[in-house]
Amino acid sequence: MQLSGAQILVQSLKAENVEYVFGYPGGAVLEIYDAIFQLKKFRHILVRHEQAAVHAADAYSRASNGEKIGVALVTSGPGATNAITGIATANSDSVPLVVISGQVGTPAIGSDAFQEVDTIGISRPCVKHNFLVTHIGELAETIKKAFQIARTGRPGVVVIDVPKDVTQAMAKFSYPQEDINIRSYQPVTHGHTGQIKKAAQVLAAAKRPIVLFGGGVVLGNASNVLTDFIQSTGTPCVATLMGLGAFPSTNRQFLGMVGMHGSYEGNLALQNADVVLAVGARFDDRVISVPDKFTDDGKKIIHIDIDPSSIAKRVKVDVPIVGDVKNVLADLLALWQKQNLAFSNNALEKWWKSIENWRSHNSLWFESADEYIKPQQVIQTLAKITGNNALITSDVGQHQMFTAQYYPFQRPRQWLNSGGLGTMGVGLPYAMGAKLARPEEDVFCITGEGSIQMNIQELSTCYQYRLPIKVINLNNGFLGMVRQWQELYYENRYSETYMDSLPDFVKLAEAYGHVGIRVEKPADIEGALKEAIALKDRLVFMDFITDRTQNVYPMVGNGKGLDEMVLPPHMDKIKATAANEREQNSRSAS
């Protein structure tokens, strides 16, 4: 029996156990949409913008424990270009995703036909791989390869560009049952035994060890073995923004997030460690700031990552280990225990004493107010009433950093945000995808009045599919993070950061068929959150009117080291002491 290319595509997606496809129809994909309608193999989620389709598919994939891969479907031309932001966002965070784009018929490719763009060329810099299918006989195998490439090795986005005449052609359908051997693509999954032994020796000799873990631990489902390793060895640990939740944030050994808005104790511990065991982290600029300042004290670095190109990209690595982080950590822990390795008690005790001294300064303390809402209060109250267990998505900005600092994530895939690309507008479509992946969980989208307006049209999608997510809008009337930089580094010149024409978000939410609540007093925070949670079957949009002047601290500015943080006002004495110490050290060196 012969099927059309569109039918083959739909049957292939079903063979990959696809449950949801997020998309928006157009001329180049009408055959595919007709096949979806007739075959009814999975559910299609109609978004209101292609960017949101990819973001929602991205979050569906992130929230699915690696078992399911998000799929987005867009038409040619503007459909494909609208999807690029979502594609780059997902690929930057190593999220497995398959994006199918329609294309003009093969005879018209290159002729500047209506709604033609070079999707392969445009997407090449921001995907793991892409395919242009020019013959129907290649379609099923290409889809199999796409899913295989997306989920294996370092996960990423694969784009499949399908011309309209390929979807119209007819052929016999046969879907490969086993993985296809791709000669040029053979990811390494197990670490080199010699390198693992060397890593164990270097780590055991450390006087000030620390474990830095990132999003690779979450994506690699290595949270349990990471926790076992940290607790067995007694090392302190810190997380990147994307690693939060891979180790329980309430555990004493966890020192918090590190980087531009990392905790005081976390940043100083990472800076002053003599051996850093980095697991699934990239040492990017938002984590260590300036590489030379991070490594200038001769610290040794052990770096575990499944992507060899990520190792030693920004810092010199003493012990590189390429492999699946779950497998490598398991082997390293087994070797550690087999050889009865341990740190020097005196050295580790002294190290922990320094850390506890830094922690005692409580860098995340803030002074609450009775007359106006601090954004930190909202996050802390949410954490309290949800038992630190809600699934949280966020947009990008101050609210994102406040959430990372003040919500104690306890498990992997509990925290979905755009870390690598920093894409405003992801929060709402992320919440949509997460709720579809895990309908039994309470899903909160924490956003700001700037970010939410970038994809606010998806409130319509939420209404159509009855997605009862809870939106927390921390509304300070500014593009808050930009305003903070302008205050600190541009002499308070607030160029284009003031949002002086905001909508009434309560009425806007109600216009889309949802519940809107405005909260203006700190005493009403808990009641509003509990009211929203009680409305199990409704989307609730909570507009919290917050302190317009609140900044995110600590903060590491451009060109500064992790030990050169801008500290909150209550730590002014510490700031002065640190500056004096740096000056004395500089004089001694000269």
Positions marked catalytic: 50, 114-115, 164, 481
Q: What stretches of 473-524 show up as alpha helix (H) in DSSP?
A: 480-489, 505-511
Query: Could you tell me which residues come within 8 angstroms of residue 475 by beta carbon, excluding any fewer than 6 positions away?
Result: 448, 449, 502, 505, 543, 544, 545, 546
Please give the sequence-ordered ranges of beta strands (E in DSSP) within 356-459, or none if there are none. 391-394, 415-416, 443-448
For 570, the enclosing helix (H) or strand (E) is none
- The three-state secondary structure class of 87 is helix
Q: How far apart are CA 523 and CA 461, in angstroms?
A: 33
Please classify residue 283 by burial: count the beta carbons closer than 10 Å to its beta carbon, then call 0-12 exposed, 13-18 middle and 19+ buried: buried
- Of residues 361, 356, 205, 203, the one with CA closest to residue 269: 356
Tokens 């609450």 belong to: 368
**CA dist 338 → 191, 331, 335, 506, 542 (Å):** 18, 10, 5, 60, 53
User: What residue has token string 């076992």?
Assistant: 228
- CB contact set of 368 (below 8 Å; sequence gap of 6+): 374, 377, 522
Any alpha helices (H) in 157-290, and if so which ranges? 164-168, 193-204, 215-219, 223-233, 264-272, 285-288
- Amino acid letter, residue 311: I
CA 377, CA 396: separation in Å to the nearest integer? 19
Do 261 and 401 form a contact (C-beta atoms < 8 A)?
yes
Please give the C-alpha separations between residue 492 and each of 482, 485, 489, 497, 560, in angstroms, as whole numbers.
11, 9, 8, 11, 21
Using the CB atoms, write b or e for 441-457: b if 16+ within 10 Å: ebbbbbbbbbbbbbbbe
The alpha carbon torsion through 526, 529, 530, 535 (nearest 10 deg) reads 160
Coil, helix or strand at residue 228: helix
DSSP state for residue 546 in the 8-state scheme: B
Going by the DSSP 8-state scheme, the letter that residue 309 receives in this structure is: G
- Amino acid of residue 191: G
The bridge status of strand 170-172 relative to strand 2-4 is: antiparallel
